[in-house]
A = this chain, B = another copy of it.
Amino acid sequence: MARTSVNSSSSPIGIFDSGVGGLTVFKEVRKLLPFEDMVYLGDTARVPYGTKSQEVVIKYSIQNAEFLLSKGVKTIIVACNTASAASLPYLKDHFPEVEIIGVISPVVRYIKTNLHSLTKVAVVGTKTAITSGAYQRALQEALPGVKVLSKPCPLFVPLVEEGMFDHRVTDAVIDMYLSEIREAKVGAVILGCTHYPMLKKPLQKYFGEKVAVIDTAFHTAVSLDSVLCEKSLKNDRSVDGRNEFYVTDSVESFKKTAELFLKFSVDQVFHI
């Protein structure tokens, strides 16, 4: 695939995810940067990444980045915690010509700046994201001495995809995975998977209002904004940006979920 990245301010922002979860990041970027064009790639034919090996996730991530570069994007957001955890250093090595932003550093930077008195923090995510140790390493580097607990929660994604945001089964699963973390009295819980913000309400209720339940989407959008400013890549027009979506499986089923996530009508969806 030809790399036609032009790195000009009028080029679109590229985002990829294993499927629909990255739309939570897309949504925050859309709100913060309304004048940017955006190209989203959801690898729905191979979703999920969170149960697959690091080796396979790296391979898929490189292919996704190649595709976005062929669309001339000026920057790439890896809007998937698993792909960020497993493949970000490989992607940066492989594509030095373009700025690549994952979802892990932005939230770690936010915690370092805003929650510096934190002594215990937990991160929850997919099996691959948690076993990669990427979050744990990034947190311990940024906040030396902080105690990091972690827990893979493989049933959360299927629960979200079943729309069970407010359900006794979901509450029971939350308790099954997270009772030890609640007992450990952490100050913050990072939702290390782009699906998990859909469970923020029951999770916040479970941990209580004193615990910060933090998702990565908003902080990723803020990081992107900084990077674009720094590199003078921000689109300086005042016209609403265009959205283009590419998927590797069914257009129809993606369109339906995307409209549920984004709460606006989604037209430009293409199969690749």
Contacts and interface: CB of A to CB of B under 8 A. Distances in A.
Interface in A41-78: 44-47, 51-53, 55-56
Contacts of A236: none
A68 to B, nearest CB: 21
Contacts of A176: 167, 169
Q: How many copies of this chain does the complex contain?
A: 2
A250 B154 contact: no
A44 B52 CA distance: 8
Interface residues on A, range: 20 to 34
A42 to B, nearest CB: 12
A170 to B, nearest CB: 10
Contacts of A97: none
Contact of A154 (B162, B168, B253): B162
Contacts of A168: 172
Contact of A249 (B52, B167, B249): B52
Interface of A: 44-47, 51-53, 55-56, 154-155, 157-159, 161-162, 167-169, 172-173, 176, 248-250, 253
A257 to B, nearest CB: 11
Given A169-B169, A169-B172, A173-B169, A249 B56 contact: yes
Contacts of A253: 53
Given A158-B155, A161-B154, A45 B56 contact: yes
6 contacts: A51-B161, A56-B250, A155-B155, A155-B158, A169-B169, A169-B172
Contacts of A56: 45, 248-250
Chain B CB count within 10 A is highest, among A44, A46, A53, A157, for A53
Nearest to A168: B172
A158 B162 contact: no
